[in-house]
Structure 1
Amino acid sequence: MTDLTFVSKQLTKPFTLLALASTIALSGCNATQNSVFYQEKSPSKQAPKVLSDMDKHLAQVTYNSQQSYLSYNIVKSLTVEVGPRIAGSTGDKKAVAWAEAKFAELGFDKIYKQPVRVRNWERGFADARVIAPFAQQLVVTALGGSIATPEGGLTAPVVMFDSLDSLSAAEPSTVDGKIVFLNTRMQRDKAGRFYGKVVPNRVRGAVEAAKKNALAVIIRSVGTDNSRFAHTGVMRYDDAVKKIPAGAISTADADTLEAMFEQPSEVILDIEMQAKDAGWQTSYNVIGEFTGSTRPDEVVLISGHLDSWDEGTGALDDGAGVGIVMAAAKHVKDAVGQPERTIRVVLYAAEEIGLIGAYEYVRANKDELSNIIVAAESDFGAGKIYRLDTRFAQAVRDTPKTLYSALSDMGVELGNNTTNGGPDVSMLPKYGVPVVALKQDGYYYFDYHHTPNDTLDKINKDDIRQNQTIWSLLTTYMAMSDFDPRPAPNVQ
């Protein structure tokens, strides 16, 4: 039986508001008659207005590919019309204006901005060349926040370490006056679990190398690809330690450089980077709401981050998340009319440089955080969702069986109850705010992460549509039911 035939038959009987939203968002994905989506609706929760409006709307959405692929089209708009949007940059300012206009276009009834002060950093020119033992040009990029090399660059011997711990344990004399090469490989994994094991090289490498009087540090890119795209990302300095330049070379060039250490001659590298701090700028968290009809003070917060690195167009990180949550909220509004609880979509500023917008959101809204029923963030690309992790009050964790069953029918298993929900919402559980994480397949995500190759063509339209469907389903349930998972269990 086709989806269209099945949907038309279902309109002859009452069925759940959960069914309405998921059917609309699905728009062509497979569903079965046995799915919990299509269970009859309880009399206490009848919504005649929704049902009477559905014939026209279902036809419009199901036949209209623009609506069916709304999340994809939002990402396309962001990447084509704005492109790169590093915090505080001209692109970032364009993104803020774009987000306000897109919220208005989608019909959000409340749209506002929250100012966030950020340091704007500019990448500038970067070049790296092996001088000896074999001349080779390397693909290099500055790490976010790095200082520049001295004018004209610097040339020095290279010392290689396989981990940050090895560098920390090294005799200072082996590092003094040299360029440190941190050569740690990142393993590929569906959940991206090895990112946290390798990213300290990027974040702390310059400090640890400078403690031993190194002149600069370069790292093997934090990525799973084998390519000549270098991966950028934020790094940190310690005010008590001398600042040195920090860059990343592509994984393929890291292989080349590693091989040079197999022969006895000294490896000498010339590196030049012209990165600079461009001073303080104002960015914004951009927020759109569908105000709750009966419980407006109870908030379902779904989010992504608006900024990106400047190398690619930020399609996966985090244009996809922006598209998914904006589309999900729009689908819920179209399905049920005005939601009972407020649906708040937060597009955070400056996630890439340290969750700056998220911290500002908490600071500015601290007295109202207790009103958030649940918070979630989409920030891991556009791979298919396969698991739901939660951080709900333990006493009610098993209560939303209808939601869990619906997700199970779509191949989404129930996971743990210990998640922090995603980068920008990770600080909320300590204030008692429940969070969820819809886990995406990130097997290839770190091939493109923070590279010039993070572009729109890496998004599979059907995969991102599956995301918007599941986010619509979750958001509908939380906005239209009485389920209340507060407070979140304490953060250990």
Structure 2
Amino acid sequence: MKKTSIFLTFLLLCISTISWSQTSEEIVTAIEKEATENSQLERLAYEVLDLNGPRLVGTPQMKTAHDWAVSEFAKWGISAENEAYGTWRGWDRGITHVDMVSPRIVSLSATQLAWSPSTGKKPLQAPVILLPTVADSVGFAQWLPNAKGKIVMVSMLQPTGRPDYNWEEWATPESFEKMKKEREALENAWSENMRNTGYTSRNINAALEKAGAVGIAQSRWSNGFGANKIFSAGTKKIPVVDISLEDYGMLYRMAKNGNTPTLSITAKSKDLGEVPTFNTIATIPGSALPNEYIILSAHFDSWDGGTGATDNGTGVITMMEAARILKKVYPNPKRTIIVGLWGGEEQGLNGSAAYVEDHPEIVDNMQALFNQDNGTGRVVRLTGQGFLHAYDYLNKWMEPVPEDIKKHIETTFPGTPASGGSDYASFVAAGAPGFSLSSLSWSYWNYTWHTNLDTYDKIVFDDVRNNAILTAILTYMASEDPEKTSREKATLFGKNRRTGEPMTWPTPRTPNRRGGLD
């Protein structure tokens, strides 16, 4: 009797394994077919990027994007809601127009920075002035009254507007090395002088505003043709504009040579006070283990120099498309599937950190989280994030992934836990198995990361389609896995590269639930 029972148990297990394998092949085939023959990626990208635009936290465009996502999920039969987690400084970008009106007339390539104060009803017109070279903070304090009534230029003059790869292609080796040494010397001198002022690039704008400056001009070049980083203004009453490298260089040289330019700046914007900020949460309920969860993760917000296409529109449409496909071909998952489109990532992972803090019951019962953030390329890296047994289950889930997708992916196990970078780190810090689907660069850092060029035309849809297929298959496999994932942590060796201290598991961060209002 005992042997018969063991045999029957073994037989049932074998039948179950064979059945799951057969079903897996059918589901994987259906996922690929739906993703390639009925892709919604181009439409989703057009609607969220071109029609809605950038998604700076606290702006009306961020809220309309959240509402759009809820509506889109509803069309697919997926329940979704916008879950408020805090408030932020509300702001609405308006028209930016910057002209040099003296010593000659030129319309400049420029934009106001995020949360920049408005110039009001009339354009601001004033001469520009350069930061001085000072020996110490006392000397800078003595100079500060000179900023009154002026537009202060706060960025270094770049010695070249050509990226290094362009120099490497065309310059002689000697000329390239000479340029790099000259640039390094300029950068060192600029950094030393900034330290001498007693301020940093983060707080000098506020000091100039207090001294009576009427505007700030910067140029944060991103080391690519036409690419500038667009971040926040850091002022309360005076406008801050970022000017293209080419135009900024012209203004700088004129000011340095005594031909002081006068600028006319129109920077329309509206301060909207304190507004709520959200995460969009979509849910496909589990049929057998509804209280265990797989999360598809991407941050919804962006900076607003461009439209946030590769940071992180591509991650958003990947997760939405994966959810749409799964709902169609796998409508009754074993475990609950959640799509988290997080707000406020760019200001410190605030949306995901708040979700971790507010939903311990989900985090504690999470089977896995898959996050995509860094650009439009195909996924090429997957690390175990320091979970000792991640190799066992991630490799199993990767098995049915098509070879032409899988062959590009390098894995590292057990890896080390992320302390930041993107939203999966919020979950890893809480001890939950969150994984980054890290993608190929496509010149991400220089050309699209937080720049004015991060727009729809930079998306490589073949790669994004592959990422949606990968995400859907991993999610299906994680959902159907008979076993719960292990959370056992690997022993960490070595030292933290930033602090020099021994490696430790990261601790959960406290989200900022009231930002930009102080």
Q: TM-score, normalised by structure 2?
A: 0.69
Query: Residue 157 in 1 paired to residue 128 in 2?
Result: yes
The amino acid across from 2:90 in the alignment is N
How do 1:417-428 and structure 2 match up within 5 A? 417-420=416-419, 422-428=421-427
1:205 to 1:88, Cα distance in 2 relative to 1, 3 A = same
Q: Distance in 2 between matches of 1:333 and 1:50?
A: 20
What is residue 230 of structure 2 aligned with on the other side?
A: 232
In the TM superposition, residue 439 of structure 1 has moved relative to its aligned partner by 1.7
User: CA distance change for structure 1 residues 57 and 480 in 2, over 3 Å: closer, same or farther?
Assistant: closer
Residue of structure 2 in register with 1:46 after alignment: 17
Contact 2:103 2:260 in 1 (8 A): yes
Which of these residues, 366, 391, 395, is aligned with residue 398 of structure 1? 391
Name the structure 1 match of 2:71.
Answer: 101
Distance across 2 between alignment mates of 1:170 and 1:211: 17
Partners of 1:234 and 1:352 within 8 A in 2:
no
Report the 3-state secondary structure (helix = DSSP H, G, I; strand = E; otherwise coil) of the residue aligned with 1:426: helix
Contact 1:66 1:73 (8 Å CA) reproduced? no
Identity of aligned residues (%): 24
Look up the match of 1:486.
487
Aligned partners of 1:368, 1:152: CA distance in 2, in Å?
Answer: 52
| Secondary structure at the counterpart of residue 171 of structure 1 | helix
* TM value normalised by structure 1: 0.72
**Highest CA radius of gyration, 1 or 2?**
2
Taking a change above 3 Å as real, the CA distance of residues 54 and 424 of structure 1, as seen in their structure-2 partners, is closer
Structure 2 CA distance for partners of 1:205 and 1:270, relative to 1, 3 Å: farther
Shift of 1:468: 1.3
Question: In the alignment, is the contact (CA less than 8 A) between 2:229 and 2:450 conserved in 1?
Answer: yes
Change (3 A) 1:475 1:450: same
Closer, same or farther in 2 for the Cα pair 1:243/1:460, shift >3 Å? same
2:465 alignment partner AA: R
Q: Distance in 2 between matches of 1:44 and 1:356?
A: 46
AA in 2 matched with 1:478: A
Q: Do the aligned residues in 2 keep the contact of 1:203 with 1:234 (CA within 8 Å)?
A: no
Aligned partner of 1:474 in structure 2 is 474
State the distance in 2 between where 1:470 and 1:134 align: 56
Secondary structure of 1:491's aligned partner: coil
- What root-mean-square deviation, in Å, do the aligned CA atoms of Structure 1 and Structure 2 show? 4.2
Alignment of 1:49-128 (within 5 A): 51=22, 58=29, 62=33, 65-67=36-38, 69-79=39-49, 82-108=52-78, 110-116=79-85, 117-128=87-98
State the one-letter code of the partner of 1:428.
Answer: F
In structure 2, the residue matched to 1:171 is: 140
Instruction: Report how many aligned residue pairs link the two structures.
Output: 432
- For residues 47-76 of structure 1, the C-alpha deviation after alignment (integer angstroms, 9 at most, x for no partner) is 748846976994795387443x34344323
Contact preservation (8 Å) 1:140, 1:250: yes
Offset of 1:362 from its aligned partner? 3.4
Q: Distance in 1 between matches of 2:440 and 2:132?
A: 31
Tell me which amino acid in the other structure corresponds to 1:470: L
Instruction: Report matched runs for 1:122-141 at 5 Å.
Output: 122-130=92-100, 135-141=105-111
What's the counterpart of residue 447 of structure 1? Answer: 447
Q: Which residue of 1 aligns with 2:409?
A: 412
Q: Does 1:325 align with 2:322?
A: no
Of residues 251, 256, 264, the one that matches 1:257 is: 251
Question: Kindly tell me: are residues 210 and 372 of structure 1, through their superposed partners in 2, closer, same or farther at Cα, counting changes over 3 Å?
Answer: farther
Deviation string for 1:214-235 (max 9, x for gaps)?
55432213534322x7653335
Aligned to 2:168: none
Return the match for 2:154 from 181, 184, 187.
181
| Closer, same or farther: CA 102–170 of 1 in aligned 2, 3 Å | farther
Q: 1:284 is matched with which residue: 278, 282, 285?
A: 278
Letter of the 1:441 partner, please give it: L
Residues 306-385 of structure 1: matches in 2 within 5 Å?
A: 306-309=300-303, 312-334=306-328, 336=330, 338-352=332-346, 355-366=349-360, 368-385=362-379
Q: 1:102 to 1:274 in 2, by over 3 A?
A: closer
C-alpha displacement at 1:344, in angstroms?
A: 1.0
Whole-angstrom distance in 2 between the partners of 1:391 and 1:160: 45
The answer as to 2:118 corresponding to 1:148 is: yes
Residue 433 (structure 2) pairs with residue 462 (structure 1): no
Q: Deviation at 1:347?
A: 1.3
- State the Cα distance separating 1:487 from its structure 2 match: 5.9
The residue identity in structure 1 corresponding to 2:275 is Q
Structure 2's unaligned 5+ residue stretches are 1-12, 166-190, 192-198, 490-503, 508-518
**Distance in 2 between the 1:280 and 1:423 partners?**
25
Instruction: Give the 3-state SS of the residue equivalent to 1:327 in structure 2.
Output: helix
1:480 partner amino acid: E
**In structure 1, C-alpha distance between the alignment counterparts of 2:280 and 2:344, rounded to whole Å:** 12
**Cα distance in 2 between the residues matched to 1:321 and 1:126:** 29
Deviations 1:323-379 (A, max 9, x none): 101222344455555333322101123445654433442343245432234334322
How far 1:118 moved relative to its partner?
A: 3.2
Aligned mates of 1:97, 1:370 — CA distance in 2: 28
Question: Displacement, 1:302?
Answer: 1.8
What CA deviation, in whole Å up to 9, does each residue of 1:165-207 have, x standing for no partner?
9998983344541513223879789xxxxxxxx9x98755524
Secondary structure at the aligned position of 1:144 is classed as coil
Supply the distance in 1 between the matched residues of 2:17 and 2:95 (Cα, whole angstroms). Answer: 62
5+ unaligned residues in a row in structure 1: which ranges? 1-41, 190-197
